[in-house]
Structure 1
Amino acid sequence: MSTIVRQLEPKGIWNNFADLNEVPRPSKKEGRVIQFMLDFGKALGLETFSDEVGNVIIRKPATPGMEDRKKVTLQSHLDMVHQKNADTVFDFDSEGIKMFVSGDWVKAKGTTLGADNGLGVATIMTLLQSTDIPHPFIEALFTIDEETGMTGAMGLQAGVLQGEILLNLDTEDDDEIDIGCAGGIDVTATRSYVEEVVNDAYVGCSITVKDLNGGHSGMDIHKGLGNANKIMNRLLFNAIEGFNIQVSEIDGGSLRNAIPRESFAKIAVDKDKTKTFETTFNNWADTIKAELAINEPDLTITMSWIETPAKVMPKGTQDKVVKALYAAHNGVYAMSAAISDLVETSNNIARVIAKNGQIKIACLTRSSVNSAKMNLANALKSAFELADCTVTFAGEYPGWNPNPDSDILRLMEGKYEALYGDKPQVVACHAGLECGILGQNYPDMDMISFGPTIKGAHSPDERVSITSVQKFWKFIQEILKDIPKNPS
């Protein structure tokens, strides 16, 4: 499949992207892709090294006549979100991404594509390989673990980078220039319980919620998409209230930065109420599907009778946890008062698992205002503590404050308008970009984020526009050609 992709223009980018997509690179398991990038840089004869946390840095001298320009750091992250459809047979640890072309889009067969942030990485690789593109001194920074903690950016020490301008290639609309982003924090609730033997008068039932769109828990959080964990919890709440069911297992969602697409549960239902329960459940399912029909037309909610589970949660435990999840906020919490149409604060209830006496609920809370982020995190903490959970905060990272007076912003706005006859959208985003973290150790670096158009990131619907990559490639070359001189 990648053979067709390799024939696309610009071939340098697509061939590097195809090579990169042959390398498994999940967050926190980037050993193979780190070595891949080290080998790449060294094969070009460029200064290449990794720092103590695994970030890879490759430096290329300026082309003749551009030695007096400001130094530029080009930055993208090496890891990708590993998500696949439930019916897709694929091993992320050993297989390369199976790509195909559909109209103007490059997609993957049943999995995430890795365009986030593989297209940024491939673009930087192509610039490092080039022999005919004018550029100042460029320094490639390939960070690790952006998707599940940003530990690469956090671990990068002051004094390593030489760039005065940072171009982050991780924005996903080709008409946008990003100058700010949200910070985030992981909120995790856990508790244990002693399983009980199921009531002899009960029979087993399996509940499935699937075929939701999913998506990026920052960039897509405002789109009114369904969250499989919240839908499942609503069903369980109704079943407890109406039929006094017993919950055996729950398994929903996956990564914190992905809106959950699927959830599965096993419960026990009174044998004398099975017919009424089935009819009522189907009514609940129809109601939920009707509510979400516009944004989630493929949503599937089903139940089936199964062998009665041997063990269930104690009633007190299940009731408290289900009520806490019902109360816990999911989705947009507040819109920005400073920037029109920008989500300020949100939460994604990303993972719910209850099995074998252990419960874990994982959330990612985001905000461009630190105090608002902690306010929502504490609201979640309060709800889960009322259910006797232990709540921890981890992985906190700062937002990136916009600088509308940026020199590189003015250059890029002018270039964009000259090339395309229109003004770019200068925005801040609700995703977590690494610029805010990098800016802590490099406060004087002028930073911008931009990139080609990518849709459906963090889901198997992820796709990248071919014509957008061509537009992006032309734009970045024009920017590098006119990087200003260092004042002397």
Structure 2
Amino acid sequence: MSSEIRTLEPKVLWNKFADLNAVPRPSKKEERVIKFIKDFGENLGLETLEDEVGNVIIRKPATKGMEDRQAIVMQSHLDMVHQKNNDTVFDFDTQGIDMYVDGDWVKAKGTTLGADNGLGVATIMAILESDAIAHPDLEALFTIDEETGMTGAMGLKGGVLKGSILLNLDTEEDDEIGVGCAGGIDITARGSYNEEPVAKDSNKAYRLEVKGLQGGHSGMQIHEGLGNANKIMNRLLYAVIEDIKIAAIDGGSLRNAIPRESIATVVFRADKEELLMSVLNSLSDTIKKEFKTMEPDLQMVFTATDFPESVMPYEAQEQLLKALYAAHNGVYRMSADITDLVETSNNIAKVVVKEGNIHVGCLTRSSVESSKMDLANALKATFELAGCEVEFSGSYPGWAPNMDSAILKVMVPVYERLNNGEKPHVAACHAGLECGILGQNYPEMDMISFGPNIKGAHSPDERAQISSAQKYWEFVLEILKHIPKA
């Protein structure tokens, strides 16, 4: 890890981020980072506890003169999305993130950076450690597994937290104050087929690759027109559906990441090679033209490969490709009430076909529960028509905006004063924040979300802006000074 990260301003923030990023912390495997945070709190002599699902809570009394203010909860999640480039050798289970400075940005070498939500965690750590930062009674809430199910927030019981205001530090635009977010639901389609042997004589096997896509956050960036590797691969396969037999497909990874890569193995008659390559290359050129602005590095590569032992029967192949073509991906509906807000969307995140089994994973998001289930049911019907069994899981609620929020009325003028009268963007977002879930057990808690500029979250292009972190840090300190009286 580059030592230059520790010289950035504010040093207290970047040093804590560097400490945190030395600890492996992929979702579902947070044991080491939970211990790291607990040790941190206990070494400071602060009340530190771990609840039954693994969330860590650290309490710090108010600084002198702030005892009469409302108690606050500062909240961030410990886990990070683990994504890397195919040519990057990296083990998220054992290695810390390798960071470097590129101009005004902190980046990672070939992997996600973990600024989402590591900069929020680092912020809270810096405040807990400091003897010079003014704040009211403070509870630091470090949740687990935000990125792959929000099970930490779901498992936090009512009555544990004592604060009346919650500051969620998981927004990724420094001019935005978040007052609402989308809910979500995981949709998984599973199917099976009887594998068929295929003769090597007179046939050829090819590996089709879609790669070079940017990927990104499947909520915050779903409206940007980024390429989805699974949809592009399906388009290629569908174009030659009658002349190929599919042996395997492996596309995408995590549900909350727009898929960047997909690989398929197909078999076809050797005398069709020239024709099929002509069709695929022509379609590849067309798709590249369509995406030339948003995806300048998109590649579709077709190469001869080792011969597979078996393939899908044509009927199963046809049903799958038609279902994937019909399944909605991207923005489904824009909000009629909030300008430029995506209301409902879907990400076809993962497609795996191998050894007689089909697995398709989607994440549907919406700020309106009925619209979320409408799209979920449309996807369910699509895949059931293809003979798949469809499961709904991991459903979580959205966070309804409260424009009368007392902490919002504090933060807006503070922001304007710090930024020469510039007004913040008060908005709901299409990401899934934990506020909606926490609000189920703490319905009276006043909640807000904000953070520094982070681009490319959930992809190896993730980067955090240094100048924005400085702006954000000053904002945090001023908010803490102006928490309303109890």
Judge same fold: TM > 0.5, yes or no: yes
- Report the AA paired with residue 358 of structure 1: N
1:39 counterpart residue number: 39
1:214 counterpart residue number: 215
Whole-Å separation in 1 of the counterparts to 2:10 and 2:321: 51
- Report the AA paired with residue 445 of structure 1: M
1:286 counterpart residue number: 285
Structure 1 counterpart SS, 2:158: coil
Whole-Å separation in 2 of the counterparts to 1:132 and 1:310: 67
Q: CA deviation at 1:308?
A: 2.2
Q: CA deviation at 1:226?
A: 0.2
1:485 counterpart residue number: 485
Q: How many residues align?
A: 484
2:116 counterpart residue number: 116
2:83 counterpart residue number: 83
Whole-Å separation in 2 of the counterparts to 1:213 and 1:347: 18
Residues 108-148 of structure 1: per-residue CA shift (max 9 Å, x gap): 00000000000000000000001011110010000000000
Counterpart mapping for 1:4-403 below 5 A: 4-199=4-199, 200-241=201-242, 244-403=243-402
Whole-Å separation in 2 of the counterparts to 1:320 and 1:370: 30
Q: CA deviation at 1:2?
A: 2.8
- Report the AA paired with residue 337 of structure 1: A
Q: CA deviation at 1:307?
A: 2.5
- Report the AA paired with residue 350 of structure 1: A
Q: CA deviation at 1:318?
A: 0.7
Whole-Å separation in 2 of the counterparts to 1:329 and 1:253: 16
Structure 2 counterpart SS, 1:326: helix
- Report the AA paired with residue 150 of structure 1: M
Q: CA deviation at 1:310?
A: 1.4
Whole-Å separation in 1 of the counterparts to 2:305 and 2:122: 48
Q: Is the 8 A contact 1:206 1:304 kept in 2?
A: yes
Q: CA deviation at 1:296?
A: 0.3
Q: CA deviation at 1:194?
A: 1.3
Residues 409-443 of structure 1: per-residue CA shift (max 9 Å, x gap): 01000100111121100010000000000000000
% identical aligned pairs: 68
Q: CA deviation at 1:286?
A: 0.5
Whole-Å separation in 2 of the counterparts to 1:307 and 1:431: 41
- Report the AA paired with residue 409 of structure 1: L
Stretches of structure 1 lacking an aligned partner (at least 5 in a row):
none
Q: Is the 8 A contact 1:55 1:144 kept in 2?
A: yes
1:447 counterpart residue number: 447
Whole-Å separation in 2 of the counterparts to 1:99 and 1:284: 38
Q: Is the 8 A contact 1:202 1:308 kept in 2?
A: no
Q: CA deviation at 1:86?
A: 0.5
Whole-Å separation in 2 of the counterparts to 1:256 and 1:306: 29
Structure 1 counterpart SS, 2:275: helix
Question: Normalization by structure 1: what TM-score?
Answer: 0.98
Whole-Å separation in 2 of the counterparts to 1:442 and 1:35: 26
Whole-Å separation in 1 of the counterparts to 2:136 and 2:312: 63
Whole-Å separation in 1 of the counterparts to 2:80 and 2:466: 20
Whole-Å separation in 2 of the counterparts to 1:173 and 1:92: 26
Tell me which moved more, 117-126 or 303-312: 303-312
Whole-Å separation in 2 of the counterparts to 1:287 and 1:135: 57
Q: CA deviation at 1:16?
A: 0.7
Q: Is the 8 A contact 1:453 1:464 kept in 2?
A: yes
Whole-Å separation in 2 of the counterparts to 1:319 and 1:279: 22
- Report the AA paired with residue 21 of structure 1: N
Whole-Å separation in 2 of the counterparts to 1:12 and 1:186: 38
Residues 150-205 of structure 1: per-residue CA shift (max 9 Å, x gap): 00000000000011000000000000000000000000000111110014432101
Stretches of structure 2 lacking an aligned partner (at least 5 in a row):
none
2:464 counterpart residue number: 464
Structure 1 counterpart SS, 2:240: helix
Q: CA deviation at 1:269?
A: 1.1
Whole-Å separation in 2 of the counterparts to 1:99 and 1:354: 35
Q: CA deviation at 1:277?
A: 1.2
Residues 251-297 of structure 1: per-residue CA shift (max 9 Å, x gap): 00000000000000000011111111112211011011111111000
Structure 1 counterpart SS, 2:180: coil
Structure 2 counterpart SS, 1:179: strand
